[in-house]
Amino acid sequence: MKERVIVFGGDGFCGWPTALHLSESGYEVIIVDNLSRRKIDIELDANSLTPIKSIYKRIETWKQLTGNEIHYYNIDISVHYRRLLEVIEKHKPKAVVHFAEQRSAPYSMKSPYLKRYTIDNNTNATHNICCAIVESQLDVHLIHLGTTGYYGYSSVGLTIPEGYLNVKVDVDGDEKYLEIAYPPNPGSIYHLTKCMDPLIFSYYNKNDLMKITDLHQGIVYGTQTEETRMHEDLINRFDYCGDYGTVLNRFLMQSQVNHPITVHGTGGQTRAFIHIQDTVRCVKMALQNPPKRGNKVKILNQTSECRNILELAKIIRDITGGEIRFYRNPRNEDPDNELKFDNTGFKSLGWDPIMLDQSLMTEIIEITNKYKHRCDMSKIICTSVWNDHIQVDKTGSGEPIK
């Protein structure tokens, strides 16, 4: 009998290709998703650049192609706890993968309502999953998608470890060694929720011996994976709007629609990156290598490399011949930073990360070029602002400042 895995948020940008990859790898996959990401697109009057099909059509085509059935439940797990519990009790999964959180930092800062929605949705979703696993009395491995943003971007020069930090503390003149959770340093309400989640995990791990893997993932780039490429009905979403689009994909897409490359602030920021194909591989590796019951929460940095934002913009400009423009940075963050991550956890499991090179960019350029007629140019500029202490162009007109 196949091992079963529930993918919470399995209709999203990371969730859908993960669901397919696990299905292809021999797992029986159950997707639970309330389609909130698609509904937010309606709210923002935005859309995926790629023409994604409905979850029903996606699953139907997948079954026709491979014979593999994917179960689907539309449940808001942050609210409908009994239905969540029923799905866990019915399918008795070996593991669950938890992507079911509002995942845009700018969206989480757009209004008091959306700050509150993000806190409420993400915190309750995470806690409900933990609570339901305990109530089910099943020994389920919980794999959660966190973010490298947990650590913040001012690391005093440290190579950021995988979740835990060894420190020395003075105790009455004696130095004692302690291993502590790396101190979180969130940069938005969204990131705040991703810093609150690990407290929930560490509590359930301690009190209920829950097996948990928390993946601190960098910014994902690319669109397609081996499985989503199999048929156009399976195509993955591609976000380019100012709220949900992420930096590298946005730069490449902007170059194809003759929009200036939008660098916020100086571009001195350094961020961690990973290709979507590696996201799905890493999640499968995490699934195949659960922590032992009774061991502490396993934290892995799911990121292949760190890159400077302005450097990336220049590489893309040099390939595409586009133009770089500097916009005021709406975020409260350092204008520039160094960043190094330890990612030996996955590497020691045999991971050979995909590194960013021109051929990968070419692939993204091809897909964005193919669908550029679907682009709404008015959605490219980021209109969220982090607070009132920073003077920001709130009109969203996107006038460059430099």
Q: Which residues of this protein are in contact with its own copies, per CB under 8 A?
A: 81, 85, 112, 115-116, 119-120, 123-124, 127-128, 131-132, 134-135, 137, 156-158, 165-172, 175-176, 178, 180-181, 183-184, 186, 189, 192, 195-196, 199-200, 203, 206-209, 332, 386-389
**Annotated active-site positions, please?**
147, 190, 194
CB 200 within 8 A of CB 344: no
CB nearer to its own copies: give 105 or 220: 105
What is the CB neighbour count within 10 angstroms for residue 23? 23
CB nearer to its own copies: give 1 or 171: 171
CB 238 within 8 A of CB 48: yes
DSSP per residue, 144-205: EEEEGGGG-S--TTPEE-SSEEEEEEEETTEEEEEEEEPPP--SSHHHHHHHHHHHHHHHHH
The minimum distance between CB 163 and its own copies, in angstroms, equals 12
CB nearer to its own copies: give 104 or 277: 104
CB 146 within 8 A of CB 162: no
CB nearer to its own copies: give 149 or 398: 149
CB nearer to its own copies: give 38 or 115: 115
With H, G, I as helix, E, B as strand and everything else as coil, classify residue 275.
strand
The minimum distance between CB 346 and its own copies, in angstroms, equals 23
The minimum distance between CB 333 and its own copies, in angstroms, equals 10
User: What is residue 4's DSSP assignment?
Assistant: E
Written as six digits, the tokens of 198 are 């690990």
The minimum distance between CB 32 and its own copies, in angstroms, equals 17
Q: Tell me the residue type at 147.
A: T
- Residues 27 and 94: their CA atoms lie apart, in Å, by 10
The minimum distance between CB 61 and its own copies, in angstroms, equals 37
CB 339 within 8 A of CB 303: no
Q: Which residues contact 135 (CB under 8 A, 6 or more apart)?
A: 85
Query: Pairing between strand 141-147 and 211-217?
Result: parallel
Closest of 325, 400, 315, 305 to residue 365, by C-alpha: 315
Written as six digits, the tokens of 246 are 């992420």
CB nearer to its own copies: give 126 or 224: 126
Written as six digits, the tokens of 385 are 């602002």
The minimum distance between CB 279 and its own copies, in angstroms, equals 26
CB nearer to its own copies: give 1 or 156: 156
The minimum distance between CB 88 and its own copies, in angstroms, equals 12
- Residues 152 and 212: their CA atoms lie apart, in Å, by 22
At 347, give phi and psi (nearest 5°): -60, -35
Written as six digits, the tokens of 388 are 């009132």
